[in-house]
Chains A and B, each alone.
Chain A
Amino acid sequence: MKYLLIIILSYFQLSNLTGQAWTKPKGEGFYKLDYTLIHTNQVFDPGGKIVPFRTLGNHTFSLYGERGITDKFTLQAYIPFFVRNVLNETKGAQSGVLLEPGIENNNIGDIDIAFRYALPFGKLPVSATLLLGLPTGNSTQNSGLFTGDGEFNQMLKISTGVGATKWWTQFGFGFNNRTKGFSDEVRYDAEFGYKMLSDKLLTIFKLSGIESLNNGTEGATSTGLFSNNVEFLSPGLEFLYFVKPKFGFSFRAAGAVKGQNVLAAPSFSFGIFAQ
């Protein structure tokens, strides 16, 4: 699968980053503790059709942080420090006999480290991000219920945007080079953010997607259903509410309107953040 969950969760998590066209000023940072849930019994199959699936729950507790090392250089990290995947048991509806036991896998997920650098393009904010996906998750569980894909990937992404006091919009485009026979990917996103309620509520609409180049090997694919040749187009909406000027709560919902080899269900995230 194989797995799947981890992959789309990672994507959703990273897509949660906002304002990536801009680097953080030196010494400033943004930190977030998040819980993300996906619970579904449907999946987008390799042809993009939605098919029934054994009910699966994915629970990810993560830390995200970014900090301006200099005005033009920002360090980012996404650490899914606890991932719990559960697969329902199955029973015969009439006989009541246990057909297959439930499965669970509790582990750390794949950590992402990223370096964002402001490129000199005059007044237009343009940044380049190098993201390294570390295979820290579990990719050997017997039933394919992985928490990581087991491969080291590198993504180079260019982002740009425009903004004013109350709003901003940005666009990003990246190429993700995957190893161990996994297919490379093109990732893209577009985002619009707006501040309301005297700047206490930040509302962000984001559209993100992945297109697989489908150039991997079968050996990579066979290790898990969803970790290879994943594609989706995902709209998401996030609210960040500032209880205090530097502290608040967040809620985010994201889903896939089309996809392949990925769960056909929305993800919901609850978090607290500080900056």
Chain B
Amino acid sequence: MKQVFLMLSSIIFLSSCIGTDLIEETEVPEQVLISTNISSIKIGDEVLFEAIYTNKYGMTENKQVIWSTSTPETVSVTSSGLIRALKAGDAVIKATAANAETTRIIKVSADPVIETGINTRSGIFMSAGSGSYTVTGDVMITTQNGKSKITVKDNFKASIGPSLFLLLTNHTNGSYMVVNNNPAINGTSAQISLNRLTNFQGAMSWDVPAGVDVKNYKYALLYCTLGPVFGFAELK
């Protein structure tokens, strides 16, 4: 009797602990992402540029970022990423960390710059082949004045899921980081919806969180944090 009790107690104790599921990861190129979404400033202005380094699994790592400028007489940059517009013209700001680098063209003008152009990328959701879970419909990203918005159109429809999030990603294998109320951003994915979706069809839109440069991501994707990728759209 005592042995049975001990055995049952052990089963309950061991199985009731929170364990770990290992998710196979896809290798992606190492990246430096400039998270400050500014590409034009006026003479005399200063802006602190920030950048993050992500490793071959897309995970953020603390690496020293080295800043440089192509034309220091137009735009200067300090070792900490503070840029200063000195005269009208263009300059290329480069951020380097480990084996990765990225550049940003900065336009300097005498007057305040108002960006009136709208950049658009769009795609069509397709299911990822996770059982009966499906996603269909059109998705579009618009960027204006440094701010981006993701919109799904009237024809959007997803299977109902308990913990479904909209992400921007660079692959579709499901190894993403998601945090409630505090979007996770790295080289693999950028979390767009702060909380799990409660509407699953029809037109909706989300503001892209600060620090996410939509150009760095290839797919819009619906991910259930309990397991499967429901579907994705390649953004073109």
- Interface of A toward B, CB cutoff 8 Å: 1-4, 35, 37, 39, 41, 43, 45-57, 59, 84, 86-95, 97-100, 102-104, 142-144, 218, 221-222, 224-226, 270
A33: shortest Cβ distance to chain B, in Å?
12
A59-B16, A86-B16, A93-B24 are known; give 17 further A-B pairs, CB within 8 A: A1-B163, A1-B226, A4-B162, A41-B21, A46-B159, A51-B131, A52-B228, A53-B226, A92-B57, A94-B25, A94-B27, A99-B23, A99-B175, A100-B178, A104-B18, A144-B163, A270-B8
Name the B residues within 8 Å of A270 (CB-CB). 8
The answer to whether B228 and A92 have CB atoms under 8 Å apart is: no
Name B179's closest neighbour in chain A (CB-CB): A100
Name the B residues within 8 Å of A57 (CB-CB). 15-16
- 22 A-B residue pairs with Cβ-Cβ distance under 8 Å, sorted by A, are A1-B162, A3-B162, A35-B12, A45-B130, A45-B133, A49-B131, A55-B19, A59-B15, A86-B16, A86-B17, A89-B21, A91-B23, A92-B25, A92-B57, A94-B25, A99-B175, A99-B177, A99-B178, A144-B162, A144-B226, A222-B200, A225-B226
The answer to whether B15 and A37 have CB atoms under 8 Å apart is: yes
- Complex alpha-carbon distance, A46 and B230, angstroms: 12
A197: shortest Cβ distance to chain B, in Å?
18
The answer to whether A91 and B131 have CB atoms under 8 Å apart is: no
- Complex alpha-carbon distance, A48 and B178, angstroms: 27
The answer to whether B227 and A95 have CB atoms under 8 Å apart is: no
The answer to whether A143 and B130 have CB atoms under 8 Å apart is: no
The answer to whether B162 and A89 have CB atoms under 8 Å apart is: no
The answer to whether B162 and A2 have CB atoms under 8 Å apart is: yes
Name the B residues within 8 Å of A88 (CB-CB). 18-21
Given A88-B19, A95-B55, the answer on whether A43 and B198 have CB atoms closer than 8 Å is no
B19: shortest Cβ distance to chain A, in Å?
5
Name the B residues within 8 Å of A59 (CB-CB). 12, 15-16
B53 at the interface (CB under 8 A from A): no
Among B8, B20, B162, contact of A225 (Cβ-Cβ < 8 Å): B162
User: Interface residue tally of chain B, by bracket?
Assistant: 35 or more
Q: Identify which of residues 151-207 in chain B touch chain A, using a CB-to-CB cut-off of 8 Å.
A: 159-163, 175-180, 195-196, 198-200
Name the A residues within 8 Å of B8 (CB-CB). 35, 270
B63: shortest Cβ distance to chain A, in Å?
15
The answer to whether A87 and B160 have CB atoms under 8 Å apart is: no
A79: shortest Cβ distance to chain B, in Å?
19
B22 at the interface (CB under 8 A from A): yes
Given A93-B24, A218-B160, the answer on whether A46 and B175 have CB atoms closer than 8 Å is no
Which of A43, A47, A95, A144 has the most chain B CB atoms closer than 10 A to its own CB?
A95
Q: Identify which of residues 30-65 in chain B touch chain A, using a CB-to-CB cut-off of 8 Å.
A: 55, 57, 59
